[in-house]
């Protein structure tokens, strides 16, 4: 038995590992989820709590829930003998056999890309349809716009708390006291009482059409 490892697969495996975070950020729901969770963390004013590792872990967990059906459909589209033929002859023709596996992912991108971004990129090259790279870009622009829109709506209650606390302290003649010392416990209390983590997680997951999730 030949136990020698094909250098082609070493290159592919190393490249895949290095590009995995980028791919997750570009072509999945992780982009919008991570931005919204980061905005929530900053609006709470708890500095680094929850930390970046916790925020990214929570984003990844919700991304796996959202992308689960798409990943399963992509896996089902891989031909049974794809790995065997590709390892024997890593040619462009054999790589093209992976097209059915990519289709569910591209359908996901198209489904969750707004018409505004699609038309804007389509106007650059009206003579042809969007390429895969342009579809990914349109999806990312849509996700960023929706993330900042949702983030703005969710940050309004925290802004109201900060304004009320600041006005009360000024009215009591305690303008030298930091409003954060008072507003932070109130924000945390509001977050706990409203079960905000569950509400945010459910809302983000259901925004991708997974109605029965969470």
Write the secondary structure of 161-190 as one string of H (helix), E (strand) and C (coil): HHHHHHHHHHHCCCCCCCHHHHHHHHHHHH
In a domain, 153, yes or no: yes
Task: Please give the pLDDT value at position 139.
Answer: 93
Q: Is the dihedral of CA 53, 56, 59, 64 positive or negative?
A: negative
Instruction: Return phi, psi of residue 5, to 5°.
Output: -85, 130
pLDDT score at 181:
80
Number of folded domains in the chain? 1
Domain assignment of residue 178, given as a range: 7-206
Whether residue 195 lies inside any domain: the answer is yes
Asked if the structure places residue 213 within a domain, the reply is no
* C-alpha torsion 169→173→175→177, nearest 10: -70
Distance CA 121, CA 130 (A): 8
Which long-range contacts (C-beta less than 8 Å, at least 24 apart) are formed by 148-153? 148/35, 148/39, 150/32, 150/36, 151/35, 151/36, 151/39, 151/40
The rounded distance, in Å, linking the Cα atoms of 36 and 194 is: 18
72 domain-assigned: yes
Q: Is 1 within a domain?
A: no
What is the CB neighbour count within 10 angstroms for residue 200?
20
- Does residue 212 form part of some domain? no
Instruction: Give the separation between CA 32 and CA 200, rounded to whole angstroms.
Output: 12
Token pair for 133: 């790279």
pLDDT at position 90: 60
Establish if 83 belongs to a structural domain: yes
Q: Which stretches of the chain score pLDDT less than 50?
A: 1-3, 211-214
Question: Could you tell me if residue 63 is inside a domain?
Answer: yes
């Amino acid at each position: 038995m030949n136990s020698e490892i094909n250098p082609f697969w070493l290159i592919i495996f190393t490249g895949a590992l290095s590009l995995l975070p980028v791919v997750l950020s570009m072509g999945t729901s992780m982009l919008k989820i991570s931005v919204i969770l980061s905005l929530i963390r900053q609006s709470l004013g708890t500095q680094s709590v929850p930390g970046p590792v916790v925020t990214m872990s929570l984003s990844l967990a919700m991304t796996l829930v959202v992308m689960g059906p798409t990943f399963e459909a992509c896996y089902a589209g891989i031909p049974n003998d794809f790995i065997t033929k590709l390892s024997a002859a890593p040619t462009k023709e054999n790589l093209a056999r992976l097209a059915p596996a990519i289709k569910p992912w591209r359908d996901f991108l198209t489904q969750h890309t707004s018409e505004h971004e699609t038309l804007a990129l389509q106007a650059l090259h009206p003579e042809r349809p969007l390429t895969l790279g342009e579809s990914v870009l349109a999806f990312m622009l849509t996700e960023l716009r929706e993330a900042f829109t949702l983030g703005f709506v969710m940050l309004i209650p925290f802004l109201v708390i900060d304004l009320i606390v600041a006005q009360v302290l000024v009215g009591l003649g305690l303008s030298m006291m930091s409003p954060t010392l008072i507003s932070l416990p109130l924000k945390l209390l509001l977050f706990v009482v409203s079960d905000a983590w569950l509400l945010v997680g459910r809302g983000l997951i259901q925004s991708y059409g997974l109605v029965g999730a969470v």
